[in-house]
């Protein structure tokens, strides 16, 4: 009987909440939590980078500096040579070099060098999510340097390469033509 009576009490309480909620004419405009976001707060979080390079910051970096940063910031999770340490994915690898068999063989390892279609996506991902222990803490120069290092390690750029916003957009990734661009425009009707 106790179970039944506690269940009845819970149902009664929920019903009372629903009745009280129906009596309210509108939701409150504020809930008394937090503070309004300022334009500066929003700008600090609005750091996405498009494939066209829109959103890339000023600055530059080079692969040599990126290699040192990689060892200090990334190697613990992704391995000294970018081979990955489970559960973290490998970042370096160009095999398979020919074709694009990923749809036929899910066991193939996807890396920056054989699967990613845009170099700007690499910059964006590093900038917003890495290192795992302090996402978003790297400077723009650090991110350009790490991006350059990973592109050199994947044999996409020559050793010692430097990157800035213009040169990053110009990088042609090996898998670039293997994806269909999402050119949808619109609002609610586009999913």
Q: How confident is the model over 156-177, as pLDDT tens digits?
A: 999 999 999 999 999 999 999 9
Among 110, 108, 137, 140, which residue's Cα sits nearest to residue 123?
140
Q: Is residue 105 part of a domain?
A: yes
- In the structure encoding, which two tokens stand for residue 35, read together? 């503070």
Question: Which domain, by its residues, includes 128?
Answer: 61-178
Q: Is residue 35 part of a domain?
A: no
pLDDT for the residue numbered 188: 75
Q: Work out the percent of the chain whose per-residue pLDDT is above 70.
A: 84
3-state helix, strand, coil in the chain (%, to 5): 40, 5, 55
Task: Give CA–CA dist 189/191, Å, rounded.
Answer: 6
Task: Give CA–CA dist 104/125, Å, rounded.
Answer: 27
| pTM as predicted | 0.77
Mean pLDDT of 75-102: 94
Helix 119-129 and helix 140-153, axial crossing angle in degrees, nearest 10:
130
Q: Is residue 3 part of a domain?
A: no
Question: Domain total for the chain?
Answer: 1
CATH of the domain at 109: 1.10.760.10
Q: Is residue 115 part of a domain?
A: yes
> What is the torsional sign of CA 120, 123, 114, 104?
negative
Q: With 80 as the cut, is the pLDDT of residue 24 above it?
A: no
pLDDT for the residue numbered 2: 46
């Amino acid at each position: 009987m106790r179970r039944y009576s506690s269940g009845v009490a819970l149902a009664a309480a929920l019903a009372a909440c629903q009745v009280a909620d129906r009596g309210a004419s509108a939701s409150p405009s504020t809930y008394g939590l937090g503070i309004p976001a300022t334009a500066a707060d929003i700008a600090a979080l609005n750091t996405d980078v498009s494939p066209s390079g829109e959103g890339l910051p000023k600055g530059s970096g080079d692969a040599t500096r990126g290699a040192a940063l990689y060892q200090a910031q990334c190697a613990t999770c992704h391995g000294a040579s970018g081979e990955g340490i489970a559960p973290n994915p490998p970042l370096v690898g160009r095999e398979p070099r020919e074709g694009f068999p990923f749809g036929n063989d899910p066991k193939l390892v996807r890396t920056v060098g054989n699967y990613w279609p845009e170099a700007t996506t690499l910059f964006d991902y590093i900038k917003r999510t890495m290192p795992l222990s302090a996402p978003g803490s790297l400077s723009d120069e650090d991110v350009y340097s790490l991006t350059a290092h990973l592109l050199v390690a994947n044999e996409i750029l020559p050793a010692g390469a430097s990157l800035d916003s213009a040169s990053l957009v110009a990088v042609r990734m090996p898998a670039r033509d293997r994806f269909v661009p999402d050119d949808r425009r619109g609002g609610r009707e586009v999913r």
